[in-house]
Amino acid sequence: MALVTTTKMFKDAYEGGYAIGAFNVNNMEIIQGIVGAAKKLSAPVILQCSKGARDYAGLTYVTKMVDAAVEDTGLPIALHLDHGPDFETCKQCIDGGFTSVMIDGSSLPYEENIAVTSKVVEYAHAHGVVVEGELGTLAGVEDDVVVESGNESYTKPEQVEDFVKRTGVDSLAIAIGTSHGAYKFKPGQKPQLRFDILEEVGRLLPGFPIVLHGASSVMPEYVKMINEFGGEMPDAIGIPEDMLRQAASMAVCKINVDSDLRLALTASIRKHLAENPSHFDPRQYLKPARAAIQEVVEHKITEVLGCAGKA
Ligand code: G3H
Ligand code: 13P
Ligand code: ZN
């Protein structure tokens, strides 16, 4: 089995009313934790790499480690560029062996978003690679771009048909109230998503895969563990799981999760070092941290995405 694109994954997910998890990867332990869960539950999976992750780990290391995951598991795995900021970054990833790229023109004026997205689609499709575009902006932090809460903008359903037709994208990320990071809602604020927008987009683009970014639940058990072992994240709040399950049963075929992995990894390391202050061998704390990543991904696959047994 070689790396795959997301085409079949999304078709099956759309028809089956479930979603595929797209998990951000930055190092070996994160990759192994994710694919360990996917293998155990026989789930297709998307490993995605941001520009920041690429700068951190290096493109060669990322692609070779993901190749190793494919060889080791035999699973359908797609390697995806998360939030590609420009044509050049997308091109480098396509040339480097990624099977899917996102071009994030969501903060550009509409016509400029169309222009850069079309250019990426043309190059990607000529190389057998699929493309995710984005319409609407999420609050939170993506790479170096910070969108303050209140300055986000929901996707306008009246633009989606025109955008998809003119760009030729294979999937579309939309903004319905999710946001990046661990502070998605203010304390006391009731989490809400604009399911009316998702429904309208689904009606206008029948059978077309929609992507949800900023979809971590900010799992309370890990926030609690971080706070118990010296961290300070009292106000961290995420997207309730029942809302994600509802989105997965609608047109959403790809659900992006990064923050929940970060929280689990950090909580595990904090706990381990607090309980074993004499440890200094990284394997001693990275082994349980990797297991924590696997636990989170198993939970997402079975309780949120519904893609167990779909590999
Ligand atoms: O959407 C952003 C992802 O969580 C990746 O974050 O750019 O810090 O790697 P990063
Ligand atoms: P979270 O910060 O909610 O995990 O979102 C991750 C994401 O959207 C990556 O593109
Ligand atoms: Zn994102």
The domain limits of the chain are 7-217+237-258+293-305
Q: Which residues line ligand 1 (CB under 6 A)?
A: 24, 50, 52-53, 82-83, 142-143, 180, 258
If one counts every other C-beta atom within 10 angstroms of the C-beta of residue 229, the result is 17
Q: Are strands 140-142 and 145-147 parallel, antiparallel or unpaired?
A: antiparallel
Classify the phi-psi angles of 150: left when phi > 0, otherwise alpha if psi is within -120 to 50, otherwise beta.
left
Question: Ligand 2 in contact with 184 (CB < 6 A)?
Answer: no
Whether 82 is catalytic = yes
What are the residue ranges in the chain where pLDDT is below 50? Answer: none
Smallest CA separation from ligand 1 atom 2, residue: 142
- Strand, helix or coil at 261? helix
Smallest CA separation from ligand 1 atom 8, residue: 143
Q: What are phi and psi of 105, to 5 degrees?
A: -100, 20
Question: Ligand 2 in contact with 54 (CB < 6 A)?
Answer: no
Give the pTM. Answer: 0.96
Distance 271 CA to ligand 2 centre (A): 24
Distance 143 CA to ligand 1 centre (A): 5
| Ligand nearest to C-alpha 143 | 1
**Which atom of ligand 1 is the closest one to the Cα of 214?**
1
> Which among 153, 159, 208 is positioned nearest to 179, based on CA atoms?
153
**Which atom of ligand 2 is the closest one to the Cα of 179?**
3
Please state the length of the chain. 311
Q: Tell which one of 143, 223, 256 to mutate to probe ligand 2, the residue whose CB is within 8 A of the most ligand atoms.
A: 256
- pLDDT of the residue at 148: 64
**Which atom of ligand 1 is the closest one to the Cα of 83?**
1
Smallest CA separation from ligand 1 atom 7, residue: 143
Smallest CA separation from ligand 1 atom 4, residue: 258
Q: Which of 12, 55, 82, 260 is catalytic?
A: 82
Report the distance separating Cα 17 and Cα 94, nearest Å.
29
Distance 183 CA to ligand 2 centre (A): 11
Distance 142 CA to ligand 1 centre (A): 5
Report the distance separating Cα 201 and Cα 168, nearest Å.
16
**CB-based burial label for 112 (10 Å; 0-12, 13-18, 19+):** exposed
- Domain topology for 7-217+237-258+293-305: TIM Barrel (3.20.20)
Distance 284 CA to ligand 3 centre (A): 31
Report the distance separating Cα 136 and Cα 153, nearest Å.
5
Q: How far is C-alpha 190 from the geometric centre of its chain's CA atoms?
A: 23
Tell me how many degrees the CA angle 208-305-197 measures, rounded to the nearest 5.
45
Report the distance separating Cα 46 and Cα 9, nearest Å.
9
- The percent of the chain in helix, strand and coil, each rounded to the nearest 5, is 50, 15, 35
Q: Are 263 and 218 in contact (CB under 8 A)?
A: yes
